[in-house]
Amino acid sequence: MDLSSRKRLMTLLVVLTLLIVDSSALAPTPPNRSFLRDRNARAAANSVTRIAATSTTPASTTLPDVVKKLSINSVDGTAEIEDFIAKEDLRLKEKAPSLSKIRRMLPPDAFEIDTPTSLMYFGLDLAFVAASITGLYAVVTSDLYRSLPFYEQAPMVAPLQVLSGFAMWCMWCIGHDAGHGTVSQSKTISRIVGEIAHSVVCLTPYVPWQKSHLKHHLNHNHLDRDYSHQWFIREEKDDLPLAFKASYWTRNFQLPILYLVYLLAGVPDGGHVYFYGRMWENESTEEKMNAAWSSLISIATATGLWHLMGTADFAVTIMAPWLVCSFWLFMVTYLQHHSDDGKLYTDDTWTFVEGGFQTVDRDYGKWVNRMSHHMMDGHVVHHLFFAKVPHYKLEDATVALQKGLEESGKIHLYKRIDTPDYTQEIIKQFDENWFFINEAQVVRE
């Protein structure tokens, strides 16, 4: 590469970084949150006022204050958050056991994070992705494939695309653990694993995702403040803006692309590739610059592979499996947080523990559960101790949780649904319910 080419490349990277970090002037507020902004602002203000007025902790300490200590590239302060949440739950409710009581139900080794074990799973999944994508690319570039018409090419590569997409999903789960700090106690190791698993392999900017995902965990099943999930009252659907109605009418065509919309268009949390929307409000330039590295890694990876393979081969070898991965991600996430008897809470009724118990464990089958690192069948424990229990401890911890809840007479709090026909289930549930929740499912007092 000559000197002039290097200068042009550096200029392009600088421009991209500036656009990523400060996109608020170029991009509108995510459309599906604009009509909720006033309600969210009032809810947040009421929450802080309520906590400050009634908390038994020092007046200067509130959950929002503690959350501010958590930078978007680390898990520092998580113990403080959990301690505060436990106190809040004891103060607000007696219906559910406190977080400390639940912790005593689990075996002590459930909270042991072992770096070599984590890296072993990371290496296995990386090999799985590399082998499946390499095999798919070999078929796509073969003379036999090139000689076939399109309608014969598609079924020839479809099984490998599904396999590669599932491998990417398994790797995404490892990046998910890295985002919670349960791959290693070392922030450097977690960052490297997360960038490779998410930013490179899954083309999902790691740090922006980590940031919005943490806010989801801190507000799970809150009607207004939850992240990653948007909730609309079914009885109010006639009052939805036209854009939302159009989204509802076309819902069955959106499943393969909903994660792409989430990342790029910032629906509902804000942009994950270029930064705007509620997740970036009041964030410092330093934090945005840190997150921009993840976006640049994803952009560079996608651009490099596109240039290397060409448009057609890139679409078949990379983007088709990526859409399979994104379907897995949306399906698992949606079904974990939607059930017929699931509840949503408001500022007056929400507690961390009760919100966590609205998460659903789903059994997809022994091997799917294991290869997905118990993302589906160990999700309740994960939500209760999101920065404490690594994925390889979730299965035993879940068994212990069920036993402890049974012995304490609280087993009714736990939700588990066998879901062997998971693809049919997501299609059925999304068609029937979309993002609606019945008013009767909202606990307001």
Q: What pLDDT is recorded for position 24?
A: 46
**204-to-21, 137, 192 alpha-carbon distances in Å:** 16, 21, 14
pLDDT tens for 171-227 read 999 999 999 999 999 999 999 999 999 999 999 999 999 999 999 999 999 999 999
Q: What pLDDT is recorded for position 85?
A: 61
pLDDT tens for 291-333 read 999 999 999 999 999 999 999 999 999 999 999 999 999 999 9
Question: Residue 1: which pLDDT band, with cuts at 50, 70 and 90?
Answer: low
Question: Residue 255: which pLDDT band, with cuts at 50, 70 and 90?
Answer: confident
Give the residue-averaged pLDDT of 280-301: 95
Higher pLDDT: 267 or 213? It is 213
Q: What is the C-alpha to C-alpha distance for residues 434 and 440, in angstroms, rounded to an integer?
A: 17
What's the distance, Cα to Cα, between the start and end of the chain in Å?
66
Q: What pLDDT is recorded for position 45?
A: 46
Give the residue-averaged pLDDT of 420-439: 96
Residue 101, pLDDT > 80, answer yes
DSSP sequence for 238-301: GGS-HHHHHHHHTGGGTGGGHHHIIIII--SS--SSS--SGGGTT--HHHHHHHHHHHHHHHHH
Q: What pLDDT is recorded for position 152?
A: 96
Q: What pLDDT is recorded for position 112?
A: 97
Q: What pLDDT is recorded for position 230?
A: 84
Give the residue-averaged pLDDT of 151-162: 97
Q: What pLDDT is recorded for position 266?
A: 84
Q: What pLDDT is recorded for position 264?
A: 87
pLDDT tens for 108-150 read 999 999 999 999 999 999 999 999 999 999 999 999 999 999 9
Strand 344-345, strand 232-233: pairing: unpaired
DSSP sequence for 58-127: -TT--HHHHHHT--TT--TTHHHHHHHHHHHHHHH-SSS--HHHHHHHS-GGGG---HHHHHHHHHHHHH
Q: What is the C-alpha to C-alpha distance for residues 271 and 31, in angstroms, rounded to an integer?
A: 12
Q: Is the peptide bond before 268 cis (omega within 30 degrees of 0)?
A: yes
Question: Residue 74: which pLDDT band, with cuts at 50, 70 and 90?
Answer: very low
Higher pLDDT: 410 or 68? It is 410
Q: Quickly count: other Cβ atoms within 10 Å of residue 49's Cβ.
A: 12
Residue 256, pLDDT > 80, answer yes
What percent of the chain shows pLDDT beyond 90? 73
Rounded to 10°, the helix 285-309/206-218 angle is 130
pLDDT tens for 78-89 read 555 656 565 555
Residue 445, pLDDT > 90, answer no
pLDDT tens for 398-428 read 999 999 999 999 999 999 999 999 999 999 9
Q: Which two tokens stand for residue 227?
A: 């992240």
Q: What is the C-alpha to C-alpha distance for residues 326 and 319, in angstroms, rounded to an integer?
A: 10
Q: Which two tokens stand for residue 306?
A: 């596109």
Give the residue-averaged pLDDT of 333-343: 94
pLDDT tens for 370-404 read 999 999 999 999 999 999 999 999 999 999 999 99
Residue in 273, 237, 267, 217 with CA at minimum distance from that of residue 386: 217
Q: What is the C-alpha to C-alpha distance for residues 295 and 371, in angstroms, rounded to an integer?
A: 27
Q: Quickly count: other Cβ atoms within 10 Å of residue 238's Cβ.
A: 6
Enumerate residues 6+ apart whose C-beta is below 8 A from 114: 390
Higher pLDDT: 199 or 50? It is 199
Q: What is the C-alpha to C-alpha distance for residues 411 and 357, in angstroms, rounded to an integer?
A: 11
Q: C-alpha angle with apex 217: 94 to 121, nearest 5 degrees?
A: 120
Q: What is the C-alpha to C-alpha distance for residues 415 and 402, in angstroms, rounded to an integer?
A: 10
Residue 31, pLDDT > 50, answer no
Q: What is the C-alpha to C-alpha distance for residues 152 and 157, in angstroms, rounded to an integer?
A: 9
Residue in 290, 256, 287, 288 with CA at minimum distance from that of residue 275: 288
Largest Cα span, the chain = 73
Q: What pLDDT is recorded for position 371?
A: 98
Residue 158, pLDDT > 70, answer yes
pLDDT tens for 350-376 read 999 999 999 999 999 999 999 999 999
Q: What are phi and psi of 79, to 5 degrees?
A: -60, -40
DSSP sequence for 109-152: GGG---HHHHHHHHHHHHHHHHHHHHHHHHHHTSHHHHHS-HHH
Report the DSSP beta bridge partners of residue 222.
Answer: 345
Q: What pLDDT is recorded for position 370?
A: 97
Residue 2 buriedness (CB in 10 A; 0-12 / 13-18 / 19+): exposed
What percent of the chain shows pLDDT beyond 70? 79
